[in-house]
């Protein structure tokens, strides 16, 4: 007889181990909370040989205990029923953080029989263990009605507690992932709202600004003397505003994936010289010299002229802005295999190493907007990167703080054309 018993118990132990291994594999690989809870309750009932098992978790917001899943036929009715922390077996286990066996619920005043009446179920015996996560109870795992009118044992406590410990980690992980996903979705929504705002605001500002610029230039031509000088200031301010709005429009097109390339064969040196010319006056106000180091042979690229000019002008404008008077700026073109690299180097204030990647993020500026002396919205480099990447090129920055910075971008080169034209 005892041999028979030990055979049964060793067969049962093997089954328990099998179940534990299976459940822990799934618990560590599933983040779907519903599925996890179902699996835990089903495994719990099977492990301790009970009619049903349920999970009662604390709602982190209200502190209430709520039935979230059960294995038996009443699982749907049980879902979302609340259990008081005071005056219930689950509440007692949750508070004391200790397992509890109630072999006969009829004689135990802690039994909260409202649930039985609500779902028309007859709870006879309960084994409840706390679900602990980082030394804190997050809920209770309950096995209900030991089958064959048996009694819950110390071994049942042990095995259900082991399952509850694993389940608590899996549940918390799944909750954290769900929270993260919700936060991510919210962030994406905020990002979209911001992009929409930029897009709408910039388009709405364009029309009235166009009118201001049009009338101001007309009046500027028609008037002389002091009024003309004042109109000059109006025109300058309006042009500056136009550039800021153009940045916003360009950014919103890039972000919406609406930026299109008008690809044409270009003489790169020519585009560079034109861009330098647009910045020459600004450089002169700071006594800055812009040097060029360009190859003698023509470098041809297939690119969008306007966009490459925007990139060059942004880089040159930054170099001038961030270089103290008397400094030097150099634009160099170096052909490489299949590519050409264009760099703008300055002897300016430089950029801290840890900021070198971040300066390409939209609205990012090394110095806080409130304390810095230079104007700008922190969009120039973000737009430059977007435009260069549209062309299949790359852009990056190197710098030594206090010594200067070098911005380099690459573009694919038209080797065949260049070769045939030069031949
Ligand atoms: P903006 O110039 O409008 O602020 P950008 O996107 O063009 O925006 O540049 C982002 C930031 O990168 C600048 O605010 C500045 O802090 C830094 N930066 C860019 N170019 C240089 C440069 N040549 N030297 C030093 N800092 C620079």
Q: Which atom of ligand 1 is nearest to the CA of 382?
A: 6
Per this entry, what is the length of the chain? 423
pLDDT score of 3: 55
As its CATH architecture, domain 2-181 has 2-Layer Sandwich (3.30)
Which residues, 6+ apart, have CB-to-CB distance to 157 below 8 Å? 99, 101, 127, 129
Q: For ligand 1, is residue 366 a contact (CB within 6 Å)?
A: yes
Quick one: which atom of ligand 1 is closest to the CA of 366?
16
Q: What is the pLDDT of residue 135?
A: 93
Per-residue tokens: 294: 């360009």
**Angle between helices 154-222 and 2-29 in degrees, nearest 10:** 0
Are 98 and 157 spatial neighbours (Cβ–Cβ below 8 Å)? no
Tokens of 231: 């109109």
Query: What three-state secondary structure class fits 141?
Result: strand
318 lines ligand 1 (CB under 6 A): yes
Query: How far is 2 from 86, CA to CA, in rounded Å?
Result: 44
94 in ligand 1 pocket by Cβ < 6 Å? no
Averaged over successive runs of 10 residues, the pLDDT of the chain (423 residues) comes to 61 86 83 88 95 94 92 88 94 97 94 91 95 96 93 95 93 90 95 90 91 93 90 92 91 89 94 96 95 93 96 97 95 93 97 94 82 79 96 97 97 63 40
**Substitution site in 314, 331, 365 for ligand 1 pocket (most atoms within 8 Å of beta carbon):** 365
CB distance 376 to ligand 1 below 6 Å: yes
Residue-level pLDDT at 341: 97
| CA count, 13 A, side-chain hemisphere, 259 | 23
> Is 403 strand, coil or helix?
coil
CA proximity to 71, closest of 49, 42, 44: 42
pLDDT at 421: 44
Long-range CB contacts (< 8 A, 24+ apart) of 196-201? 198/248, 198/251, 198/252, 199/248, 199/249, 199/252, 199/256, 201/248
Tokens 């089958």 correspond to what residue?
147
Strands 328-336 and 289-293: parallel
Domain at 263-412: CATH architecture: 2-Layer Sandwich (3.30)
- What token pair was written down for 339? 């590519």
Query: With contact defined as beta carbons under 8 Å apart, do 42 and 22 qualify?
Result: no
- The CA–CA distances, whole Å, from 365 to 29, 225, 245, 309, 360 equal 42, 40, 18, 22, 9
CA of 378 to the centre of ligand 1 (A): 7
Q: Give the rounded distance of the alpha carbon of 5 from its chain centre.
A: 58
Q: Among 301, 304, 303, which Cα is nearest to 414's? A: 301
Q: Which 8-state DSSP code applies to residue 393?
A: -
Q: Is 398 in the pocket of ligand 1 (CB under 6 A)?
A: no
């Amino acid at each position: 007889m005892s041999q028979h018993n030990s055979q049964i118990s060793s067969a049962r132990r093997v089954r328990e181990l099998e179940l534990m291994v299976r459940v822990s594999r799934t618990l560590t690989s599933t983040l779907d909370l519903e599925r996890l809870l179902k699996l835990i309750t089903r495994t719990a009932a099977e492990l301790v040989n009970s009619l049903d098992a349920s999970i009662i978790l604390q709602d982190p917001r209200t502190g209430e205990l709520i039935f979230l899943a059960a294995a038996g036929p009443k699982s749907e009715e049980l879902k979302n029923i609340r259990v008081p922390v005071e005056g219930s077996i689950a509440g007692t286990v949750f508070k004391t953080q200790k397992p509890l066996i109630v072999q006969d619920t009829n004689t135990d005043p802690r039994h909260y029989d409202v649930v039985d009446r609500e779902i028309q179920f007859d709870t006879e015996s309960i084994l409840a263990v706390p679900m602990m996560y980082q030394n804190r109870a997050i809920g209770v795992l309950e096995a209900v009605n030991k089958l064959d009118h048996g009694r819950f044992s110390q071994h049942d406590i042990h095995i259900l507690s082991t399952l509850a410990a694993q389940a608590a980690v899996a549940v918390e992980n799944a909750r954290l992932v769900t929270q993260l996903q919700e936060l991510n979705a919210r962030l994406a929504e905020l990002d979209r709202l911001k992009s929409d705002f930029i897009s709408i605001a910039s388009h709405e500002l364009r029309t009235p600004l166009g009118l201001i610029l049009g009338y101001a230039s007309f009046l500027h031509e028609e008037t002389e003397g002091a009024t003309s000088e004042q109109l000059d200031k109006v025109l300058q301010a309006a042009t500056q505003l136009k550039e800021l709005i153009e940045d916003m429009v360009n950014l919103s097109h890039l972000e919406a994936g609406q930026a299109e390339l008008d690809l044409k064969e270009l003489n790169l040196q020519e585009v560079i010289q034109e861009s330098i010319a647009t910045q020459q006056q600004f450089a002169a106000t700071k006594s800055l010299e812009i040097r060029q180091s360009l190859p003698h042979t023509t470098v041809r690229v297939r690119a969008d002229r306007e966009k490459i000019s925007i990139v060059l002008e942004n880089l040159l404008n930054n170099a001038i802005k961030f270089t103290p008077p008397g400094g030097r700026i150099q634009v160099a073109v170096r052909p490489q295999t299949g590519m050409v690299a264009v760099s703008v180097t300055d002897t300016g204030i430089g950029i801290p190493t840890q900021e070198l990647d971040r300066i390409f993020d939209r609205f990012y500026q090394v110095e806080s907007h409130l304390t810095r002396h230079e104007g700008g919205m922190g969009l120039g480099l973000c737009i430059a990167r977007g435009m260069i990447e549209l062309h299949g090129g790359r852009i990056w920055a190197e710098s030594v703080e206090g010594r200067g910075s070098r911005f380099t971008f690459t573009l694919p080169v038209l080797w065949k054309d260049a070769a045939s034209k030069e031949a």
